[in-house]
Every structure is written in structure tokens, then in C-alpha cells.
Structure 1
Amino acid sequence: MTTGVRRRMGVEERRQQLIGVALDLFSQRSPDDVSIDEIAAAAGISRPLVYHYFPGKLSLYEAALKRASEDLAGRFVEPQEGPLGTRLLRVMRRFFDFVDEHGPGFSALMRGGPAVGSTATNALIDSVRQAAYVQILSHLNVENPPARLELVIRSWISLAESTALIWLDGRRIPRAELEVQLVHDFAALAAVSAAHDEEMGALLRGMLKEEPADGPFSDLVARLISLAS
């Protein structure tokens, strides 16, 4: 590995450099497999100096995770323009961009890594899920969601996480297909809920009202009709 060039940095600048180096390494391999020595070498500093800024790999991992979680949460931010299905598809593309860029680190975070179970880690994961949840609510123009809608959105967010993990394990299904499928999944979850609740039915009708003939939701309807014929 090529070591970085030594130069004097301020405290915060050095901390941010180490976080960036660690995040880059954690994105290539599981954090369990990355040593402090590797991080130090990549940053161009000594091992003791890493410990000067971070007590151990766990604290450095949590700092890197915080930066990554902020990045991931930002992937769910989408202008409220155009049909909902198209907006969700753009969100899923950015979500999978992140998963693609940070595969091993994303997998370690969700399946088990050096900071698993820590209060800080759990809070960061929950913050990303909450940010995604709030963004979806904003696209539906709902401020006080009924229980069934909350169930639909949070179930869909969990499904997106699980789908990404399965995809990372061999990438046996084309990524673009999964992005569309997850948008279909959102519509399907909403439709099943609407079949049991009139309030959800009204929300679903609003979702479909602005959907163009070539949009993701219309595509799902056409596929279902084809299967039933």
C-alpha cells in the first residue's frame, strides 16, 4: 500500500482525514478486517498518532459511520416534483449508488461489525431510517400519518435494506431491476393496506392519480393484469 505524505495538520483537519481514510478502507473490506496499522499507513502517520485522535478502532469506526450515515440519509432527499413513482425510483438509484460504493461497510453495519450493539451505532442507524421515513411522508404530503401508513413506510425501508444486503451477496440480480422492484414493492404494500382501510385507499388513489402511463406504478399494474389474464 502506498503511504500518504506526512505533513503537519490541525487537530480537526487530522481527525477528518483519519475518518475519510477509515471510511475508504471500510468501504473496501469489512471493518473487522481493517487494522489500525493499515489506517495509519494510509494516512501517512504512526500508529500511536492514530490513538492520539481516537481511543481505538471502535471510536474511529463510529466516527466514519456517522459521516456515512449522513451521506446515506441525504440520498433520500428528493425534490417534490413529478410523479411519486418516478421520485422513488431516483431515490432507489441513489440508495444503491451508496450500497455499491460502500458495500463491505454497509454489510458489516447491518449484519455485524466492530461497533455492533453500541448505543452510538444503533442511534446512527435509526437516524437514517427516520430520515428516510420523514422524506417519504413529505412526498405523500402527510403530517400526521395513520398507523397503517407508518407500517407501510417503515416496512418498505426495512425491505430496501434487506434487498441491498442480498444483492451484495453475489449481485445475482441486476441492480436496475431491483431498483424498479423496490418501487413496485412500495406500491404493492400500499395497495394491500388500502384493501383493509379506506384512509389508505384515499392515499393510494392520490398516489396513482398523477402517475403517467409509462411510470413505475403503471408498469406494476400492467404486469399484474398480464399475470391474471
Structure 2
Amino acid sequence: MGVEERRQQLIGVALELFSHRSPEDVSIDEIATAAGISRPLVYHYFPGKLSLYEAALRRAADELAERFVEPHEGPLGARLLRVTGRFFGFVDEHGPGFSALMRGGPAVGSSTTNALIDSVRQAAYEQIIAHLGISAPSPRLELVVRSWISLAESTALIWLDGRRVPRAELELQLVHDFAALAAVSAAYDPEMADLLAGLLANEPADGPFADLLTRLAALAPAATLPS
């Protein structure tokens, strides 16, 4: 193989191993064996495990960022549901690797790892803002979107610890969470209220946002307001 071809092969092998076990538990010897080469040859292409680990994280970050790309067609609720489905698909396929990416793994605190994590978050943020059709987001809208991205990360990490909640339910719940965050912000800000009204006006009766309103309406008779 050529130099770059071999490097890409090693990154792919490492990422596959990291997808099933924590990077700390995967040795250079295992990576070499899986790639069908010797340990010294691995070091010929990467000076150490950390550099190979960071290269694998970079590929994982690029793939994860691509999961947020969605055509700007149809109701926002359905778009967000498709995005969360692909996001959880990545989490499901690359559990330990996803945890390592979000938590830093062996390179926790390194500038490279932090930059990779931030790049994924920024890509997700820019995609959602674009879907909202906003060119200059207000501080409250930015807070809503970035808070939702952080919530999606933490939800996925908790879910990986046993997968005790059905994945499909969490995907829908995250879409509902976005609407709920926007609704709370709308209660404080007229601009957010106008944005939310516009989003709900374009939602079909069988969409995720309408489903949330139906669920909340069912709870209303049981709710009591303080006197």
C-alpha cells in the first residue's frame, strides 16, 4: 500500500476496534494484528498510540458531523427526528468510540480532542440554525439550540450505559425536548414566540411537535395550578 492508503487503513482498523471497546483497552499490538502488519510498521505511520487515536477521532468526528446534514424540505419536526435517528445510529454503532470522542478518552484535555468535539457541536449548531431559516440568531435562540445539542450528547452517553430506554422513544423525546426548550424561551421573548408560532403553524397533525401537544393536553386535566 501507499503511505496514505496504509494510514487510512490503520485509522479504519483503530476506529473499528474503538467502536467496540474503550480506546484505553486497545493496544498497538491488537491494531497491528487486525491490520495484518507488524507493530514497528504501525509506528512507522504514527509516532504513537495517541496520534493514531486522534486520527481515528477525527474521522469519527467528521462522520458524526455528517449525520446532522439534512435536506431543507418538509416540516422541522420530521427533519429533526431524522437527524436524531442518524445521530443515535452513530452512537449505537460506535458506543465506546462515541464516549471517547465526547469525554476525551486518553487525550482528555488535549487541544486536538477539544477542537474535534467543538467542531462537531458547531456543525450541528449551524445545521439547525440553517433549518430554522435564521441568518442572525438571537442570544435566546442560540441558547436554545446549544442547550439542545448538549442535552442530546448527555442523553446519548447515559443511554449507552445499559440502553435501558428504547432508542426510538429517546429519539422522539429529544425532538420534543427541542420544542419544549423553544416554548420556555418563547414565554420570555416575543421574537422566540413568533419563531415558535411559525414552526408550529407548518407542522402536520401527525408530526412530532403535534404529538407533544397531544401528550401535554392529555396531562392537563390532572394538573392543578397553585391557588
State yes or no: 1:93 paired with 2:82: no
The residue that corresponds to 1:133 in the other structure is 125
Residue in structure 2 matching 1:164, options 148, 156, 161: 156
Give the drift of 1:107. 1.3
Deviations 1:2-35 (A, max 9, x none): xxxxxxx110000000000000000010000000
* Residues 30-55 of structure 1, C-alpha deviations (whole Å, 9 max, x = no match): 00000000000000111111011001
Residue in 2 that maps onto 1:181: 173
Matching of residues 1-229 of structure 1 within 5 Å: 9-229=1-221
Unaligned runs of 5+ in 2: 222-227
- CA–CA distance in structure 1, aligned partners of residues 15 and 103 of structure 2: 17
Post-superposition CA distance 1:46-79 (Å, at most 9, x none): 1111011001111001100111101000000000
In 1, Cα distance between equivalents of 2:131 and 2:201: 14
Q: TM-score, normalised by structure 2?
A: 0.96
Measure, in 2, the Cα distance between the counterparts of 1:143 and 1:128: 20
Q: What is the CA-CA distance between 1:108 and the residue it aligns to? A: 2.2
Does the 8 Å CA contact 2:104/2:113 hold for their aligned counterparts?
Answer: no
Partner Cα distance (1:129, 1:112) in 2? 14
What is the CA–CA distance in structure 1 between the aligned matches of 2:201 and 2:117, rounded to whole Å? 34
For the Cα contact (< 8 Å) 1:109–1:116, is it kept in 2? no
In the alignment, which residue of structure 1 is the partner of 2:225? none
> For structure 1, which runs of at least 5 residues remain unmatched after alignment?
1-8
**Letter of the structure 2 residue corresponding to residue 81 of structure 1:** E
Tell me how many residue pairs correspond in the alignment: 221
TM-score normalised according to structure 1 size: 0.95
Give deviations 1:142-161, integer Å, cap 9, x for gaps: 01000000000000000000
Pairwise CA distance, 1:112:
4.4
